[in-house]
Chain A
């Protein structure tokens, strides 16, 4: 079992010009670790993270997109696994932090802690699937996970974190959406 913030610190070393779609608890940790204009933290409704990621990947096949989704969020949009696998964007990396709780909504458990998200992604048809519960192994493999042809899926088995402060006005700031669009549009011309 890993800690999400430790995982994201390792991930951040490999993030350059990718768009990173992050929401709720993942977004709180991510923007603290890696504040950057190409963070996309406005998704409008829980579960849509993976769908926004697909749209960004489709629209800019010359760029890579990383989705940092929670397990509760993916459960609300499980069909997106099938959609993403069918569209098969090579530039999409889909990471799901599995802490078995709806952390942003009171840390209540998800309906079943036994869900095998990597198995679901594999069955849906993702090009590559990983399951990480050890930070050392994640550290060794993260560069390959991010660089290979996708869609790539990885479950990050993490512990529930310390209580977080959810600054939603900042995460959903329209100025940040505008800045993201300008930056995403500009790169690669």
Chain B
């Protein structure tokens, strides 16, 4: 697919927060580590905060999540980092050191702030969104765009792979889940 195009389904689709949370739980995630992101605020973070099966750890700055998630993996506990793409960019050095160089299973769900789901992220007029996939590619981090319900099926296999291979993965949330 051309990087400037997205599928018809993506342009007209919806993204269910409940489906994503179901996939998170099915993946064996016990901890969600988060700094709030307006893209995922009401559709993901708010219901996660009420979910008795998930333990939400609210942190002050996104790079804290990288250390916490890595250490939890030493305890055989799975964690998901729920942040905004600005927080990802702010945490690049921690991700470089822990996730990439130490090859740790760091699973990140990253809201693309103010992204237009009718565009591919690489075609976004917003610089911060546009550079996300190229940065992930350069760092060798597997990534998946989650924009419609059909994309949610990518989550569990990718998290299982991250822990099996001890490697990071990023899910880019392309529209606000409802």
Please report A residues at the B interface, Cβ cutoff 8 Å. 40, 42-45, 47-56, 58-60, 77, 79-80, 82-83, 86-87, 172, 174, 177, 180-181, 184-185
Contact = CB atoms under 8 A, between A and B. Distances in A.
B60 A55 contact: no
Contacts of B104: 44
A61 to B, nearest CB: 10
B70 A52 contact: yes
A177 B97 CA distance: 14
A52 B70 CA distance: 7
Nearest to B75: A59
Nearest to B77: A59
A45 B74 contact: no
Given A82-B60, A83-B57, A185-B76, A55 B69 contact: yes
B61 A48 contact: no
12 contacts: A43-B97, A44-B97, A44-B98, A45-B63, A45-B66, A49-B67, A52-B67, A54-B64, A54-B71, A55-B68, A58-B31, A82-B60
A45 B94 contact: yes
B63 to A, nearest CB: 7
A181 B67 contact: no
Interface in B68-90: 68-72, 74-77, 79
A180 B74 CA distance: 8
Q: Which 5 A-B pairs have the closest CB atoms?
A: A59-B75, A55-B71, A79-B60, A44-B97, A51-B67
B66 A51 contact: yes
A177 B58 contact: no
Nearest to B55: A58
Contacts of B58: 83, 86
A48 B63 contact: yes
B59 interface: yes
Interface string B89-127: 000011011100111100000000000000000000000
Contact of A48 (B66, B77, B101, B103): B66
Given A51-B66, A59-B77, A83-B59, A44 B101 contact: yes
Given A44-B101, A45-B98, A59-B72, 9 more contacts: A45-B93, A48-B98, A52-B70, A55-B68, A58-B77, A59-B74, A86-B58, A87-B57, A174-B103
Contact of A184 (B67, B75, B97): B75
Nearest to A57: B71
Q: Most chain-B Cβ atoms within 10 A of its Cβ — which of A77, A83, A86, A177?
A: A83
B173 to A, nearest CB: 23
Contacts of B72: 55-56, 58-59
A87 to B, nearest CB: 6
Nearest to A60: B75
Contacts of A174: 102-103
A79 B70 contact: no
Given A44-B97, A45-B98, A77 B63 contact: yes
Given A180-B74, A184-B74, A79 B64 contact: yes
B102 A181 contact: no
